[in-house]
Amino acid sequence: MMKKSMLLIVVIVIALTGASDAGEVISGCGGIAYPPFMWKEGERIVGVGPEIAEIIFGELGFKVESRAFSSWSRCMQEVKKGRTDILFAASVNDERSKFADFTEICLSEVPVAIFVWKERGFKFEKWEDLTGKKMGKILGTTYGQKFDAFAENHLNVSRVVKPIQNFKRLEKGRVDFLPIGLYAGRIQVKEFGYEGP
Protein backbone atom coordinates (compact mmCIF):
# COMPACT_ATOMS: atom_id res chain seq x y z
CA MET A 1 0.00 0.00 0.00
CA MET A 2 1.11 3.52 -0.74
CA LYS A 3 0.71 6.30 1.78
CA LYS A 4 -0.03 9.91 1.06
CA SER A 5 -0.36 12.83 3.38
CA MET A 6 -3.62 14.74 3.53
CA LEU A 7 -3.01 18.38 4.25
CA LEU A 8 -5.27 21.31 4.84
CA ILE A 9 -4.44 23.83 2.15
CA VAL A 10 -4.69 27.54 2.67
CA VAL A 11 -4.64 29.54 -0.49
CA ILE A 12 -2.70 32.76 -0.91
CA VAL A 13 -5.90 34.51 -2.03
CA ILE A 14 -6.63 35.61 1.56
CA ALA A 15 -4.35 37.67 3.73
CA LEU A 16 -5.15 36.71 7.29
CA THR A 17 -3.11 39.48 8.83
CA GLY A 18 -4.98 42.09 6.81
CA ALA A 19 -8.45 41.02 7.90
CA SER A 20 -10.22 43.88 9.56
CA ASP A 21 -13.74 42.68 10.20
CA ALA A 22 -14.38 40.11 12.92
CA GLY A 23 -16.43 37.28 11.51
CA GLU A 24 -15.28 37.86 7.94
CA VAL A 25 -16.40 34.97 5.73
CA ILE A 26 -13.92 32.90 3.76
CA SER A 27 -14.93 30.07 1.46
CA GLY A 28 -13.66 26.51 1.22
CA CYS A 29 -14.32 23.44 -0.89
CA GLY A 30 -13.20 19.83 -1.10
CA GLY A 31 -13.81 16.42 -2.60
CA ILE A 32 -17.42 15.33 -2.89
CA ALA A 33 -16.81 11.72 -1.84
CA TYR A 34 -13.71 11.12 0.29
CA PRO A 35 -14.97 10.16 3.75
CA PRO A 36 -14.04 10.57 6.55
CA PHE A 37 -12.03 13.58 5.39
CA MET A 38 -14.63 15.27 3.19
CA TRP A 39 -17.87 14.55 1.39
CA LYS A 40 -20.85 16.36 -0.04
CA GLU A 41 -23.89 16.85 2.16
CA GLY A 42 -26.50 19.04 0.50
CA GLU A 43 -24.71 22.09 -0.86
CA ARG A 44 -21.80 21.80 1.61
CA ILE A 45 -18.65 19.78 2.08
CA VAL A 46 -18.47 18.21 5.54
CA GLY A 47 -16.01 15.94 7.32
CA VAL A 48 -12.74 16.13 9.24
CA GLY A 49 -11.07 18.60 6.83
CA PRO A 50 -13.82 21.25 6.91
CA GLU A 51 -14.26 20.84 10.68
CA ILE A 52 -10.58 21.48 11.34
CA ALA A 53 -10.63 24.51 9.00
CA GLU A 54 -13.66 25.90 10.85
CA ILE A 55 -11.91 25.52 14.22
CA ILE A 56 -8.60 27.05 13.11
CA PHE A 57 -10.07 29.95 11.17
CA GLY A 58 -12.78 30.47 13.81
CA GLU A 59 -10.04 31.11 16.36
CA LEU A 60 -8.63 33.72 13.97
CA GLY A 61 -12.01 35.45 13.72
CA PHE A 62 -13.16 34.04 10.39
CA LYS A 63 -16.32 32.15 9.50
CA VAL A 64 -15.74 29.35 6.97
CA GLU A 65 -18.42 28.88 4.33
CA SER A 66 -18.22 25.39 2.83
CA ARG A 67 -19.13 24.96 -0.85
CA ALA A 68 -19.84 21.75 -2.72
CA PHE A 69 -18.97 21.80 -6.40
CA SER A 70 -19.69 19.09 -8.95
CA SER A 71 -16.24 17.52 -8.65
CA TRP A 72 -12.84 17.62 -6.94
CA SER A 73 -11.34 18.99 -10.14
CA ARG A 74 -13.88 21.84 -10.26
CA CYS A 75 -13.14 22.67 -6.61
CA MET A 76 -9.44 22.97 -7.38
CA GLN A 77 -10.18 25.22 -10.37
CA GLU A 78 -12.30 27.50 -8.18
CA VAL A 79 -9.40 27.83 -5.72
CA LYS A 80 -6.86 28.31 -8.49
CA LYS A 81 -8.95 31.12 -10.02
CA GLY A 82 -9.31 32.81 -6.62
CA ARG A 83 -13.07 32.34 -6.31
CA THR A 84 -12.67 30.01 -3.30
CA ASP A 85 -10.16 30.53 -0.50
CA ILE A 86 -9.49 27.09 1.02
CA LEU A 87 -9.08 23.61 -0.42
CA PHE A 88 -9.92 21.17 2.38
CA ALA A 89 -7.72 18.13 3.08
CA ALA A 90 -5.58 17.73 -0.03
CA SER A 91 -2.24 16.17 -0.82
CA VAL A 92 0.71 18.29 -1.89
CA ASN A 93 2.09 18.11 -5.40
CA ASP A 94 4.01 20.51 -7.64
CA GLU A 95 0.93 21.62 -9.59
CA ARG A 96 -1.08 22.50 -6.47
CA SER A 97 1.94 24.25 -4.94
CA LYS A 98 1.81 26.76 -7.81
CA PHE A 99 -1.48 28.23 -6.56
CA ALA A 100 -1.74 27.22 -2.90
CA ASP A 101 0.20 27.31 0.33
CA PHE A 102 0.10 24.14 2.40
CA THR A 103 0.13 23.70 6.13
CA GLU A 104 3.29 22.14 7.49
CA ILE A 105 1.39 19.77 9.76
CA CYS A 106 -0.19 16.77 8.09
CA LEU A 107 -3.87 16.12 8.77
CA SER A 108 -3.40 12.37 8.37
CA GLU A 109 -1.30 9.72 6.66
CA VAL A 110 -3.70 7.94 4.34
CA PRO A 111 -2.85 4.45 3.11
CA VAL A 112 -3.82 4.06 -0.54
CA ALA A 113 -5.17 0.65 -1.52
CA ILE A 114 -5.70 -0.98 -4.90
CA PHE A 115 -9.34 -2.04 -5.32
CA VAL A 116 -10.04 -4.81 -7.86
CA TRP A 117 -13.07 -6.83 -8.89
CA LYS A 118 -12.87 -10.08 -6.93
CA GLU A 119 -13.14 -12.41 -9.93
CA ARG A 120 -10.48 -10.43 -11.83
CA GLY A 121 -7.86 -10.09 -9.12
CA PHE A 122 -4.15 -10.19 -9.94
CA LYS A 123 -0.81 -10.37 -8.17
CA PHE A 124 0.31 -7.00 -6.84
CA GLU A 125 3.49 -6.64 -4.82
CA LYS A 126 5.15 -3.67 -6.53
CA TRP A 127 4.16 -0.93 -8.93
CA GLU A 128 5.67 -2.76 -11.90
CA ASP A 129 3.00 -5.47 -11.43
CA LEU A 130 0.49 -2.87 -12.63
CA THR A 131 2.31 -2.15 -15.92
CA GLY A 132 -0.09 -2.17 -18.89
CA LYS A 133 -3.20 -2.32 -16.67
CA LYS A 134 -6.20 0.02 -16.96
CA MET A 135 -6.49 2.32 -13.95
CA GLY A 136 -9.60 4.29 -13.03
CA LYS A 137 -8.94 7.71 -11.54
CA ILE A 138 -10.99 10.66 -10.31
CA LEU A 139 -10.23 13.91 -12.15
CA GLY A 140 -7.80 16.03 -10.19
CA THR A 141 -6.64 13.37 -7.73
CA THR A 142 -3.03 12.61 -6.92
CA TYR A 143 -1.44 9.53 -5.39
CA GLY A 144 1.91 11.20 -4.89
CA GLN A 145 4.14 12.57 -7.60
CA LYS A 146 6.16 9.38 -8.06
CA PHE A 147 3.14 7.14 -8.52
CA ASP A 148 1.37 9.72 -10.70
CA ALA A 149 4.43 9.77 -13.00
CA PHE A 150 4.59 5.97 -13.02
CA ALA A 151 0.89 5.77 -13.89
CA GLU A 152 1.18 8.25 -16.77
CA ASN A 153 4.16 6.37 -18.24
CA HIS A 154 3.19 2.73 -17.65
CA LEU A 155 -0.59 2.48 -17.23
CA ASN A 156 -3.67 3.15 -19.28
CA VAL A 157 -5.27 5.85 -17.09
CA SER A 158 -8.86 6.91 -17.58
CA ARG A 159 -10.55 9.61 -15.54
CA VAL A 160 -14.10 10.24 -14.34
CA VAL A 161 -15.76 12.82 -12.12
CA LYS A 162 -17.42 10.66 -9.45
CA PRO A 163 -16.30 7.56 -7.53
CA ILE A 164 -19.49 5.63 -8.36
CA GLN A 165 -18.57 5.94 -12.06
CA ASN A 166 -15.24 4.26 -11.37
CA PHE A 167 -16.84 1.42 -9.43
CA LYS A 168 -19.32 0.82 -12.28
CA ARG A 169 -16.43 0.67 -14.75
CA LEU A 170 -14.54 -1.72 -12.47
CA GLU A 171 -17.63 -3.96 -12.25
CA LYS A 172 -17.98 -4.03 -16.06
CA GLY A 173 -14.27 -4.74 -16.61
CA ARG A 174 -13.55 -1.40 -18.27
CA VAL A 175 -10.77 -0.76 -15.74
CA ASP A 176 -8.59 -3.28 -13.92
CA PHE A 177 -8.15 -1.45 -10.64
CA LEU A 178 -8.90 1.70 -8.65
CA PRO A 179 -6.35 3.30 -6.33
CA ILE A 180 -8.31 4.81 -3.44
CA GLY A 181 -7.53 5.92 0.07
CA LEU A 182 -8.19 2.82 2.16
CA TYR A 183 -10.76 4.42 4.47
CA ALA A 184 -12.71 6.19 1.73
CA GLY A 185 -12.56 3.06 -0.45
CA ARG A 186 -14.01 0.82 2.25
CA ILE A 187 -16.81 3.30 2.90
CA GLN A 188 -17.55 3.64 -0.83
CA VAL A 189 -17.63 -0.14 -1.37
CA LYS A 190 -20.33 -0.39 1.30
CA GLU A 191 -22.18 2.79 0.27
CA PHE A 192 -22.35 1.75 -3.40
CA GLY A 193 -23.60 -1.75 -2.55
CA TYR A 194 -20.48 -3.70 -3.52
CA GLU A 195 -19.82 -5.28 -0.14
CA GLY A 196 -19.98 -9.05 -0.64
CA PRO A 197 -20.98 -11.80 1.78
- Domain boundary (108, 126, 145) is at 108
What's the pLDDT score for residue 22? 59
| CB 32, CB 162: distance < 8 Å | yes
Model-level pTM?
Answer: 0.75
What's the pLDDT score for residue 90? 82
Residue 31, domain CATH: 3.40.190.10
What's the pLDDT score for residue 1? 53
- Domain boundary (90, 108, 126) is at 108
- Domain boundary (108, 135, 154) is at 108
Enclosing domain of residue 32: 2-108
The pLDDT of 66-92, averaged and rounded, is: 89
The pLDDT of 106-125, averaged and rounded, is: 90
* 133 in any annotated domain: yes
What's the pLDDT score for residue 187? 93
What's the pLDDT score for residue 6? 46
- As a 3-state breakdown, the chain gives helix, strand, coil percent values, each rounded to 5, of 30, 30, 35
| CB 89, CB 107: distance < 8 Å | yes
* 94 in any annotated domain: yes
Beta bridge partners of 180: 113
* Residue 111 scores a pLDDT above 90: no
| Cα dihedral 171, 174, 176, 182 in deg (nearest 10) | -50
Per-residue pLDDT tens over the stretch 17-46: 444 455 689 999 998 888 888 999 999 999
Per-residue pLDDT tens over the stretch 143-161: 888 999 999 999 999 999 9
